[in-house]
Amino acid sequence: MLDLKNLETFVWVARLNGFRAAADRLNTTQPAISTRIAGLERDLGARLFDRRGRQIILTSKGIELLAYAERMLVLKAEIVQNVGNPASASGLLRLGVPETIVHTWLPVLIERIAAAYPELTLDIEVDSSPSLKAALLAETLDVAVLFAPVDEPRFTTRSICSFPLAWVASAKLSLPKRRQLSLADIAGWPVITFRRETPPYQEIRRLFARDGLAGARMFGSSSIAAMVRLALDGVGACVLPPVIVQTELGDGRLKQLNVEHVIPAIDFLICFRPSPANYLAEAISKLAAESARAYARAPANRSKILIPKIENED
């Protein structure tokens, strides 16, 4: 009798082109993966992979089996979703988020996942959007929150939330005492914001160049904590979501600047690849949207995070 776990392992080895990658995905060891594949080959009486050094290649029988195995996983996913208790879902789900989400609604999401799927193991990776996108494409992440969409038809991408941005600076920064500041007023100090490949960085650089200030210094960072620290220390003006620095704005350590050029809000998307082996990704993406909405409804955060209108939303 064929073992469904062995079939699932076979699918992941084939999709990720390696035993070690499949072991990481299935939260087990490489020897365990080898044992499962050997058991499947023994049950079928057929070799499924040709091993050429570090490379593995599907044999003709392996190619034939892959279509059947994926169909069986589709059926398993349908049974779990339509018949089974969601709380019984187990395994590993790998979620990637930028640091902005860590400082806002990620705790709400984790609480909701823990309540809905108590047997699920969650592996959270915090990194820059480009790095998370690369990990998603390599299938070392199941779900990721990104700045930019994944332009591949095999992935699903949905708008999830938008954060208004603001210019903030330490009160100790010697800026002109004017009601509204120009970019020239700001350009005497470094501008601290997200990394250079992000929309905020590129927009600020464009505005500086347009106003003849192409030589203005900019410090890009993937770390919100580093950005806030630099702003507090008076290194320069900072562009980031004000919701992240509510405490610092409230106690006067930072102040929001009235600058003549408003930087557009930063949009976040949630992306995943729908598949039988990744059937929880759809459910987790919906929980993420609910978590962002719940965070936005909190009195302290209202009007500081924008949520896209979702059709058929209750």
* Token pair recorded at residue 172: 């100790």
Angle made by CA atoms 43, 44, 50, in degrees to the nearest 5 = 110
166-256: CATH architecture:
3-Layer(aba) Sandwich (3.40)
DSSP 259: B
For the chain, what are the domain ranges? 4-82, 87-162+268-297, 166-256
DSSP bridge pairs for 170:
254
Query: For residues 237 and 200, is the Cβ–Cβ distance under 8 A?
Result: no
How far is 211 from 185, CA to CA, in rounded Å? 12
* pLDDT tens column, 104-159: 999 999 999 999 888 888 899 999 888 999 999 988 899 999 988 888 888 999 99
Taking the model in full, what pTM does it have? 0.74
Name which of 160, 166, 165, 164 is nearest 147 in CA terms.
160
Pick the CATH number of 87-162+268-297 from 3.40.190.10, 3.30.479.10, 3.40.50.300, 3.90.650.10: 3.40.190.10
How is domain 4-82 classified at the CATH fold level? Arc Repressor Mutant, subunit A (1.10.10)
Non-local (6+) Cβ contacts of 308 within 8 A are: 159, 160, 161, 162
- Can you give 121-136 as a three-state secondary structure string? EEEEEECCHHHHHHHH
Matching CATH topology for 87-162+268-297 and 166-256? yes
- Give the neighbor-by-neighbor strand order of the sheet with 191-194: 218-221, 191-194, 237-240, 166-170, 254-256
* pLDDT tens column, 223-259: 999 999 999 999 999 999 999 999 999 999 999 999 9
For each of the chain's 314 residues, which pLDDT tens digit applies? 678 889 889 988 888 888 988 888 788 899 999 999 999 999 999 999 998 777 889 999 999 999 888 888 777 766 766 666 666 666 788 999 999 999 999 999 999 999 988 888 889 999 988 899 999 998 889 999 998 888 888 899 999 999 999 999 998 888 888 889 999 999 999 999 999 988 899 999 999 999 999 999 999 998 999 999 999 999 999 999 999 999 999 999 999 999 988 899 999 999 998 876 677 888 899 999 999 999 988 767 655 777 775 444 44
Task: Please give the sequence-ordered ranges of beta strands (E in DSSP) within 214-258, or none if there are none.
Answer: 218-221, 237-240, 254-256
Query: For residues 118 and 111, is the Cβ–Cβ distance under 8 A?
Result: no
Label the pairing between strands 266-272 and 156-163.
antiparallel
